[in-house]
A = this chain, B = another copy of it.
Amino acid sequence: MKTINVGLVGITGYAGMELTRLLAGHPCMRLCMACSRAEAGKRLGEYYPFLNHMPGADVVISVFDPQEAARQCELVFLAVPAGTAMDMADPLLRAGVKVVDFSADFRLRDPDIYAQWYKRDHICPELLHKAVYGLPERYADAIAKAQLVANPGCYPTSVILGLAAALKHDFIQTIDIVVDAKSGATGAGRKASVPTLFCEVSDNFRAYGLPTHRHTPEIEQELSSLVGHDVLLSFNTHLLPTNRGILSTIYTKLKHPETTLDEVHAAYVSTWNNSQWVRVLPKGALPETRFVRGSMFCDIGLVVDSRTGRLIILSAIDNLCRGASGQALANANLMCGLSVETGLTALAPLA
């Protein structure tokens, strides 16, 4: 198998940490550049002791330079904050490098919506048309041809995969969808801050960001594209005292209250029958975040409540693997002509 040299800009966050973990087990991608202004000069294995004795440990952390990146790498992962990614992507693309961007900078097709939710103007709106939304289940062909992939947000991944079959089979009303989503604390980032200290998160639970979480427009954009008209939903997030995992509980109203679980379940199974990563649970079973830990799986549980005429969909993913770095790697695989699951098949500890 040919070796594909890749770079990673932004190593100190959890997404960067997770990508170094996954790349260490990839059969043909080789991490040859890792950038961080703050940690430049250290070996990666010095900064992340878990990497020692593994591929990537000896890469020396450097300051990002697009020319140098282009010289060394076929593809670069940008695991930097929204706003910063825009600045870096343009020179990389001009230099012919493929880019997978973890941030929201290239996810929204409409720069006005970007400006409205992210409180800044987009500096390269012309790139929005080139960027492909990196959800392999929906856009695999376009991803394979893209030079720039906007890696989906963690929450949107769980919600879009959870709702797709119900929307496609026209079971539910597209107004009045409510998403109650819960995420582990890696989703809150790796910056030093009091609210994410162990003793503030442990044995605690709280909502945050209501009602204006920035993943809202991204979810609405993709669901609207799925059904062909505008979808508006109530999207609400909570912080779990866990390291990883997202569970989205999605409340919908059935178009026909007499719809049965059997019908819905059969439709989900047929939709996802050939998917390696979306697992529709047996009727009566509900997903648990631990069962998708460290993996690309999206586990979907279905509940029909005939008392209230609702279909409730429960969708679980790992926010860092499926919701960030694993999905980025899947996209990179496609962009480099590899099978989408290359390097993404190991099961992580379940307990």
- A interface residue numbers (CB < 8 A to B): 14, 17-18, 21-22, 24-25, 46, 48-54, 176, 178, 180, 182, 184-186, 190-194, 196-208, 210-211, 232-234, 236, 238, 240-245, 247, 249, 251, 253, 276-277, 279, 281-282, 285-294, 297, 299, 301, 303-305, 307-308, 310, 312, 314, 318, 320-321, 345-351
Q: Which 7 A-B pairs have the closest CB atoms?
A: A346-B346, A211-B305, A198-B201, A180-B180, A192-B192, A204-B290, A206-B288
Copies of this chain present in the complex amount to: 4
Tell me how far the C-beta of A325 lies from the nearest C-beta in chain B, rounded to whole angstroms: 10
- Measured between beta carbons, the chain B residues less than 8 angstroms from A194 are 190-192
Q: CB distance B54 to A286 under 8 Å? A: no
Question: Does B198 contact A310, Cβ atoms closer than 8 Å?
Answer: no
Cβ B247 vs Cβ A206 within 8 A = yes
Contacting pair B348 A289 (CB below 8 A):
no
Instruction: Enumerate chain B residues within 8 angstroms of A289, measured Cβ to Cβ.
Output: 203-206
Whether the pair A350, B17 counts as a contact (CB closer than 8 A) is: yes
A197-B192, A247-B238 known; A207 vs B21 contact (CB < 8 Å)? no
Contact for A243 among B206, B301, B349, CB less than 8 A? B349
